[in-house]
Structure 1
Amino acid sequence: MSRRAVVREEIRRFLEIGAVQVADLDLDGDEAVLRPGPGGPPVTHGEVFLLVRRSGRPVATLLTRVPEGADPRAVLTAAASGAPREAAAGDAAGDAAGDAAAPPPYASVVVATRERAGQLARALDSLLAQDHPRFEVVVVDNAPVTGGTRELVERKYGERVRYVCEPVPGLAVAHNRGLALARGEVVAFTDDDVVADPRWLGELTAPFAADPRLGCATGLILPARLRTPAQVLLESHGGFAKGFTPTTYDPGDPPRDEPLFPFTAGRFGSGANMAFRTDVLRAVGGFDPATGAGTAARGGDDLYGFVRVLAQGHRLRYTPQALVWHHHRETWSDLETQAYGYGAGLTAYLTAILVNRPALLPAFLARLPRGLARARALTEARDTDGGGAPGAHDTRTHPWPRRLSRLQRRGMLYGPLGYLRARRAPVSTAGRGTR
């Protein structure tokens, strides 16, 4: 079969994937409360991706089907009856952090954006509805070509949102600009294509009050919509979620099942849902401006930040109660770009770490053989059992197209070169365009 025919066949299979409804079910008290996903229509019959909560706290997700003519709430409540009675227990240090009685610290929320005013408004509305007692929101308008973002912020949000223009393109550059302006003890970062759960910021920042050694926290990311084949395919292969077990990563007590720790930064979380102790992130120099979307490196800025903070001896906390809903890419072309960018970002961030902290090279090389052996074992197991977590889409039904795997590998080969190219780009001109 020719290469073109193979690509056509993969696209045909891709387009056969049907839409999936997203729903949110809270098993609180005697009566379950069923809501559609953010901005979605009420749940009807058909396939449903369901978030299960208990007393407002996310505990599980599952994939199920509502038969035609059945009561969706009754069917989904029955399907969720086996969900954990409470959120999964984490490590002892993390449990202590989660039980903190102290109020969460003053926080700055930084949202970098570029020419997506409609999506940004949806994200800002959810951020301003947070139940956190004291926080600010900073929008960084990255290399804009129109005044749409500034007009939106000034017209709709006024003094409730701070606006700054960063003319140099790049997500890390934009995040560094927000970091420089942040007034909070903790600085949180999210994207313009999310809807934040009302408890998101409080849950994400509370661990900092309980653990003085905590440098970073990450949270749970779930799909806001699964309407297109691209969105379904991405989520069926893991999406951005990291599970429901709170976990503290401590460089003084590395996890035994992570031979490449702390270089396996993708396991810790993602840039759409992360927070740092502000003085800690500033002390490590913030994010490398030659990484991230909008640069030749394509990505890796968040992973770079995680590793730099861990390498300085600070802990990182994964907190699944801190939830944002993410609007996944919608088209096949988007997914191809994303696959290539993920591969490039992975090796670009590793290059950035070793260029900026060459003292870490011996530790990385020492861990590499065991890390590669474990990666091969996990791949073989996934190929044997069909992959996918319990309750997720079956990857045998929605196989990951070979073209996307090839694009990701090509991106990994390109990443170091992209990073080195990005290092020659202009630097930020901090101080311009602030309101």
Structure 2
Amino acid sequence: MKVSVIVPTYRRTADLERCIAALAAQCRRADEVIVIARGDDQPTRAWLKHHQTLPSSFALRVALVNTPGVVAAYNRGLDSATGEVICFTDDDAAPHPDWIERIALAFERDHALGGLGGRDIVHENGGILEGQKAAVGLVSWYGRPVGNHHIGYGPAREVDVLKAVNMAFRREAVGTLRFDPRLLGSGAQVHCEMAFSLDVGRRGWTLVYDPTLLVEHYPARRGDEDQRHVFNDKAFYNASFNLRLIMCEHLSTSGRWAFVTYSMLIGNRADPGLVRAILLALNGDGFALALRKWWVGLCAMHGAWQAAMR
């Protein structure tokens, strides 16, 4: 099967160099690696133009996009890719040498397989994020999302959602489907792979998470307002809006109303409802910040509901 790999990047040439080196060292190389760069990203374009260390047989090409955000980059990649299997990874990741080989074999063996993802081993603060979770990539009937792709363990199993740093889709399962341009953000556009995964699943295709399919992930500084571990009203609103829009459109009628109640009252630590916000405040997270998160989330719910009803 012909395999394409899509790598969006923005002003992170050191990370990109590590990623490209890992893709060049694959046991089974991709038939094409497409780096999606921004038209105004001169450092990346210069690096790609003058980089001389890649083997001549490595099929690397560049596609440019002018719209900020990873959604436009992913969609440019989908429009450019010619493979029967389309893989995605981030510029701050390094797939293991058997990554492409195992992905291609999985799609060859299982003709009902629409998407395949694996674990990203997260490197932070000089170490690796540890843990083991059996529940990975799920969305409950009332909209409670479970990630845990970076600490999943056990056998390969069906899931609802794959993680963009380590995922692949069958071209036939994707068809004309594209990442949702309504999702907010000028960079990461959090949860965009959730919407895409759910759309593929709704088409009747199977999505599988295999925790032995590995990439090393070195989370780098983002080139937008959504900085990891730092609260920002706009970034928080964008992520909350995206999640709420996805749930408003993918859940059943009863699930949608249950989600509204759940997110307003309970939520999770990253995106708390009122009760959890109060509990977080009592546990030392700061009363003002906890309630601020709840209020921003409430505003995001209003915006997402309006967007879903258009």
Q: TM-score, normalised by structure 1?
A: 0.52
Q: Output the CA distance in 2 between the equivalents of 1:223 and 1:408.
A: 26
User: Aligned residue for 1:319?
Assistant: 210
User: Aligned residue for 1:345?
Assistant: 239
Q: Output the CA distance in 2 between the equivalents of 1:400 and 1:353.
A: 30
Cα distance change on mapping 1:225 and 1:354 into 2, 3 Å: closer
User: Aligned residue for 1:212?
Assistant: 111
Q: What is the one-letter code of the residue matched to 1:310? A: G
Alignment equivalent of 1:307, drawn from 186, 191, 198: 198
User: 1:122 Cα deviation (Å)?
Assistant: 1.3
User: Aligned residue for 1:274?
Assistant: 167
Alignment deviations for residues 49-87 of structure 1 (CA, whole Å, 9 cap, x no partner): xxxxxxxxxxxxxxxxxxxxxxxxxxxxxxxxxxxxxxx
User: Aligned residue for 2:92?
Assistant: 193
User: Aligned residue for 1:125?
Assistant: 21
Alignment equivalent of 1:336, drawn from 221, 230, 233: 230
Q: How does 1:9-408 map to 2 (within 5 A)?
A: 105-142=1-38, 144-156=39-51, 157=54, 160-227=59-126, 240-249=149-158, 262=160, 268-283=161-176, 285-291=177-183, 293-294=185-186, 298-328=189-219, 334-337=228-231, 341=235, 344-345=238-239, 347-352=241-246, 354-355=248-249, 360-362=251-253, 364-365=255-256, 368=259, 372=262
Q: Output the CA distance in 2 between the equivalents of 1:338 and 1:206.
A: 42
Q: What is the one-letter code of the residue matched to 1:288? A: D
Q: Output the CA distance in 2 between the equivalents of 1:212 and 1:182.
A: 20
Q: Output the CA distance in 2 between the equivalents of 1:421 and 1:329.
A: 34
Cα distance change on mapping 1:147 and 1:186 into 2, 3 Å: same
Q: Secondary structure at the match of 1:241?
A: helix
Q: Output the CA distance in 2 between the equivalents of 1:304 and 1:240.
A: 16
User: 1:279 Cα deviation (Å)?
Assistant: 2.6
User: Aligned residue for 2:145?
Assistant: none
User: 1:278 Cα deviation (Å)?
Assistant: 1.6
Cα distance change on mapping 1:368 and 1:413 into 2, 3 Å: closer
Q: Which has the larger radius of gyration?
A: 1
2:247–2:259: 8 Å Cα contact kept in structure 1?
Answer: no
2:63–2:80: 8 Å Cα contact kept in structure 1?
Answer: no
Cα distance change on mapping 1:335 and 1:141 into 2, 3 Å: same
Q: Output the CA distance in 2 between the equivalents of 1:404 and 1:318.
A: 35
Alignment deviations for residues 278-327 of structure 1 (CA, whole Å, 9 cap, x no partner): 232234x21102226526x9411111111101111111000112111111
The percentage of counterpart residues that share the same residue type is 24
Cα distance change on mapping 1:343 and 1:247 into 2, 3 Å: farther
Gaps of 5+ in 2: 134-147, 270-282
Cα distance change on mapping 1:248 and 1:194 into 2, 3 Å: same
User: 1:185 Cα deviation (Å)?
Assistant: 0.6
Tell me the matched-pair count. 272
Q: TM-score, normalised by structure 2?
A: 0.71
Q: Secondary structure at the match of 1:224?
A: strand
Q: Output the CA distance in 2 between the equivalents of 1:353 and 1:302.
A: 13
More displaced 10-residue stretch of structure 1: 157-166 or 181-190: 157-166
Q: Output the CA distance in 1 between the equivalents of 2:46 and 2:102.
A: 31
Q: Output the CA distance in 2 between the equivalents of 1:404 and 1:196.
A: 37
Cα distance change on mapping 1:195 and 1:352 into 2, 3 Å: same
Q: Secondary structure at the match of 1:130?
A: coil
RMSD: 4.1
Cα distance change on mapping 1:208 and 1:293 into 2, 3 Å: farther
Cα distance change on mapping 1:417 and 1:329 into 2, 3 Å: farther
1:126–1:198: 8 Å Cα contact kept in structure 2?
Answer: yes
Q: Output the CA distance in 1 between the equivalents of 2:284 and 2:60.
A: 40
Q: Output the CA distance in 2 between the equivalents of 1:304 and 1:217.
A: 15
Q: Output the CA distance in 1 between the equivalents of 2:172 and 2:36.
A: 20
Alignment deviations for residues 110-130 of structure 1 (CA, whole Å, 9 cap, x no partner): 011111122111111111111
Q: What is the one-letter code of the residue matched to 1:150? A: R
Q: Output the CA distance in 1 between the equivalents of 2:25 and 2:295.
A: 42
Q: Output the CA distance in 2 between the equivalents of 1:338 and 1:109.
A: 32
Cα distance change on mapping 1:175 and 1:298 into 2, 3 Å: closer
Q: What is the one-letter code of the residue matched to 1:218? A: G
Q: Output the CA distance in 2 between the equivalents of 1:235 and 1:290.
A: 34
Q: What is the one-letter code of the residue matched to 2:158? A: Y
1:221–1:325: 8 Å Cα contact kept in structure 2?
Answer: yes
User: Aligned residue for 2:276?
Assistant: none
Q: What is the one-letter code of the residue matched to 1:170? A: G
